[in-house]
């Protein structure tokens, strides 16, 4: 079953390649959606796909790329719109 999560990642996550890292991991897991910087120290993402793959993505986001320091990941499960065809980095 396809589902969706809307997450915010807080910490030292901007300017350290977090968006590109998220993109690569989402593609690897077969997920769709987007990721963007919200402000210094916060990244936002909407991710759609199989629930177990999304849960794996959230687990990975709690660690992040090598240069990041993740303080917390907050998310809310939502109904999937299935409108995404790929995963994108938004500017």
**Mean pLDDT, residues 6-25 taken together:** 96
The ranges assigned to domains in the chain are 2-89
| Statement: residue 9 has pLDDT above 90 | yes
Buried b vs exposed e over 46-69: b needs ≥16 C-beta within 10 Å? bbbbeeebbebbbebbeebbeebe
60 catalytic per annotation = no
Per-residue model confidence (pLDDT) at position 40: 86
Q: What does the pLDDT look like over 23-79, one tens digit per residue?
A: 999 999 999 999 999 988 899 999 999 999 999 999 999 999 999 999 999 999 999
User: Which of the residues 37, 40, 60, 79 is marked catalytic?
Assistant: 37
Per-residue model confidence (pLDDT) at position 68: 95
Rounded Cα distance between 74 and 80, Å, is 18
User: Which of the residues 10, 19, 24, 60 is marked catalytic?
Assistant: 19
79 catalytic per annotation = no
Looking at 3.30.70.100, 3.10.100.10, 3.20.20.70, 3.40.50.450, the CATH number of the domain 2-89 comes to 3.30.70.100
């Amino acid at each position: 079953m396809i589902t969706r999560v809307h997450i915010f990642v807080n910490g030292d996550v901007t300017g350290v390649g977090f968006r590109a890292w998220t993109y690569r991991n989402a593609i690897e897991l077969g997920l769709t959606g987007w990721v963007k910087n919200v402000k210094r120290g916060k990244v936002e993402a909407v991710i759609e796909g199989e629930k177990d793959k999304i849960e794996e993505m959230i687990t990975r986001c709690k660690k992040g790329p090598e240069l990041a320091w993740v303080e917390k990941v907050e998310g809310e499960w939502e109904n999937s719109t299935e409108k995404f065809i790929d995963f994108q980095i938004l500017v």
